[in-house]
Amino acid sequence: MSPMDEQWREDIRRWLQTPQVRVHLMGIGGIGMAGLARLLAAKGQVVSGCDAGSPRTLNWLRAQGIAAVTGHNPAHVQDVDWAIFSPALQPGHPERAAAEKRGIPLYRRGQVLPVLAELWRTTIAVAGTHGKTTTSAMITHILRECGVDVSWCIGGELPPTGAPGGVGSADELVIEADESDGTLAYYRPAIAVITNIEFDHMEHFASPEDFLATFQVFAQQARTVIYSADDASTARVGAAVQGLSFGLAPGADFRGEDVEMTPDGARFTVQGIRVVLPLTGQHNVVNALGALAAATRGGIDLAAATATLQTFALPKRRFECAGDVRGIRVVADYAHHPTEIRALLAAAKQAGADRIWAVFQPHRYTRTLALGADFPPAFDQADGVILTPVYSASEPPLAGGTAEDLCKHFWRHGGAPVELAKNFADAAAFVSAHAQPGDWVLIIGAGDIEQLAPLLLQKLADSAH
């Protein structure tokens, strides 16, 4: 990069080193933005922010003493020194336009977090197409349970308080490094963890090669790289920088062996130590191996680290049981890529699901178009699929990328029966009319489909009378 390319980094450092400056976060209700806000406030910034939705996250921020308001208004930037915008915020957004007009320095979240992380002695940054939230949550849990009062900023709400970010007294920080907009290349962590690399975020990356190149830069800029040996692309990237490998593949440095899957979770052996993991799904065994490798590289004893996993609980919307009504279990999950959905259904079967109804909200028109034919096989273990309209994430509709287009892929595949729902109420009514005691309903997607869970539970309860 040229000196001009790096000027933004120096500018952000200067803002972070100036106490009591006023910073405004546009889209503060996003999980990643909320965690960032918490860290900024802890480092002496006067933080404000706004969001059009996300009431649960806004309430959490207010409880942390952060001025978070509902709705966007150009007046919000009137008295701020600098501002940060969410990757979901489009050019031309009224607050963003007002900041630009006023000459207020404006930065992407993915520019600020890498520089902010430099204020901690040791940063562990977790990246990957799948599993990064669970893996970073596991690392945070292991460190805290082993007496390291670590800070964290991840893409999920950690139990028991639902916090996406927190500040501890130790000089260690765990972050989830987002690959979606290319800013992954800005991180320079002490320890980089790469869970896997599978092409995604077609709205930003022109090709799989561009996507892979971002991870290569990320790996080259880390002092130590911990990578999955189970994924060919990740293994190439990690081996090129002489990293430490984990996984189930023969030859992995942290290899899981004698894996035993049960309805309650998994057991496996790593370096002679038997591990009890209260999570279903082979993918979570691999996530745990990555977390253990990172924790031990960070100075934690392996035996102590493995013992903490017995009490680990997944972040919200990661295989989250929303409730049981009429003998029907409702589970919410953030999966939105075919690989994640396939792993989710396998985990549900392992946990004892017999018949599975999968309600899926496709996420982004670009992803639905690019991966349309890959989605139906991922649902092969479902007994019925209900598709809701696409969650646009601010994208304009795209020919070939709608729920109707995806439904045609299901018809051609010939797997589970598929239904199109006009909205969440329509989906709840269909499931309530067809689900039987013993069935599982999986509510799947990264958009606002989490709103369906309480709606469905109420519909099931009403129909029981």
The answer to whether position 139 is within a domain reads yes
Could you tell me if 278 and 312 are in contact, meaning their C-beta atoms sit under 8 angstroms apart?
yes
Q: Is the same domain home to 240 and 352?
A: no
Q: What angle do CA 338, 339, 340 make, to 5 degrees?
A: 90
Question: Of 81, 108, 135, at which residue does a domain stop?
Answer: 108
Residue 282: count of CB within 10 angstroms of its CB: 18
The answer to whether position 187 is within a domain reads yes
Q: Is the same domain home to 374 and 417?
A: yes
Q: Is the same domain home to 358 and 414?
A: yes
Q: Is the same domain home to 273 and 394?
A: no
Q: Is the same domain home to 153 and 278?
A: yes
Q: Give pLDDT, residue 465.
A: 64
Q: Give pLDDT, residue 182.
A: 87
What is the bridge-based pairing of β-strands 163-166 and 151-158? antiparallel
Q: Is the same domain home to 269 and 298?
A: yes
Is 116 in a helix, a strand, or coil?
helix
The answer to whether position 248 is within a domain reads yes
Q: Is the same domain home to 352 and 277?
A: no
Question: Of 51, 82, 108, at which residue does a domain stop?
Answer: 108
The answer to whether position 31 is within a domain reads yes
Q: Give pLDDT, residue 264.
A: 85
Question: Which of these, 301, 309, 284, 320, lies nearest to 141 by C-alpha position?
Answer: 309
Question: Of 255, 284, 311, at which residue does a domain stop?
Answer: 311
Per-residue pLDDT of the chain (465 residues), as tens digits, is 433 467 999 999 999 999 889 999 999 988 889 999 999 999 999 999 998 877 888 998 999 999 998 888 888 888 899 999 988 777 778 888 899 999 999 999 999 999 999 999 999 999 999 999 999 999 999 999 999 999 999 988 888 777 889 999 999 999 999 988 889 999 999 999 999 998 888 787 889 899 999 999 999 999 999 999 999 999 999 999 999 999 999 999 999 999 999 888 999 999 999 999 999 889 999 999 999 999 999 999 999 999 999 999 887 778 888 999 989 999 999 898 999 999 899 989 988 898 999 999 999 999 999 899 999 999 999 999 999 999 988 788 999 999 999 999 999 998 889 999 999 999 999 999 999 999 999 999 988 898 999 999 999 988 866
The answer to whether position 409 is within a domain reads yes
Matching residue, tokens 């430099």: 118
Q: Which two tokens stand for residue 87?
A: 């990757």
Total domain count for the chain? Answer: 3
Q: Which CATH number belongs to the domain containing residue 53 in this structure?
A: 3.40.50.720
What is d(CA 292, CA 305) in angstroms, rounded to the nearest whole number?
Answer: 7
Distances in Å between the alpha carbon of 82 and those of 8, 11, 96, 228?
12, 10, 11, 38
The answer to whether position 2 is within a domain reads no
What is the bridge-based pairing of β-strands 46-51 and 67-70? parallel
Q: Which CATH number belongs to the domain containing residue 356 in this structure?
A: 3.90.190.20
Q: Give pLDDT, residue 5.
A: 65
Q: Which CATH number belongs to the domain containing residue 163 in this structure?
A: 3.40.1190.10
What is d(CA 456, CA 451) in angstroms, rounded to the nearest whole number?
Answer: 9
Q: Is the same domain home to 326 and 427?
A: yes
Q: Which two tokens stand for residue 208?
A: 């799989």
Q: Is the same domain home to 157 and 269?
A: yes
The answer to whether position 155 is within a domain reads yes
pTM, full prediction: 0.88
Q: Give pLDDT, residue 135.
A: 97
DSSP classification of residue 326: T
Q: Is the same domain home to 82 and 132?
A: no
Q: Is the same domain home to 283 and 413?
A: no
Distances in Å between the alpha carbon of 453 and those of 171, 331, 431?
39, 8, 11
Domain that holds residue 444: 320-463
Could you tell me if 388 and 421 are in contact, meaning their C-beta atoms sit under 8 angstroms apart?
yes
Q: Is the same domain home to 294 and 413?
A: no
The answer to whether position 41 is within a domain reads yes
